[in-house]
Amino acid sequence: MTGTLAFTHLIADLLGVDASRLRDTSTLSGLLIASASAAGFSPVGAPLVRTLPSDDVAGVLLLDGCHIAIHAFPARQLLLLDVLALASTDPRKALDVFARRLAPREIRSETRGRG
């Protein structure tokens, strides 16, 4: 086993997001694509974004070897973002896209090396 980490894992809580934006599956799908593009990721298909029976929204975009996943909770004005990326890339660029487009009141994030 080498000392080089293979992945970077970013998790973020975007708080105070307009609930109507968090219910809009088309917008969230577009943000998954735009964030992957901004970070230089290679998607392996179209994003899958679905409204759940609870009125929350979940989505994922599979990347070559990694993923971007979201869980939106409109009633709480909260979007949880999970970006697993190759260590040679910067997942904060993906977070920046969500932050600019959703204009949260607050962002809490953490980045860790993985693998």
Tell me the pLDDT tens digit for each residue of 77-115: 999 999 999 988 899 999 999 999 999 999 999 999 988
Instruction: Report CA-CA distances (Å) from 96 to 29, 35, 40, 75.
Output: 16, 8, 13, 23
Confidence (pTM):
0.93
Q: Please, which residues have CB within 8 angstroms of residue 7's CB and are 6 or more apart in sequence? A: 66, 84, 85, 86, 87, 113, 114, 115
CA distance 105 to 86: 29
> Tens digits of per-residue pLDDT, 64-80?
889 999 999 999 999 99
CA distance 60 to 82: 9
CA distance 86 to 32: 17
pLDDT for the residue numbered 1: 44
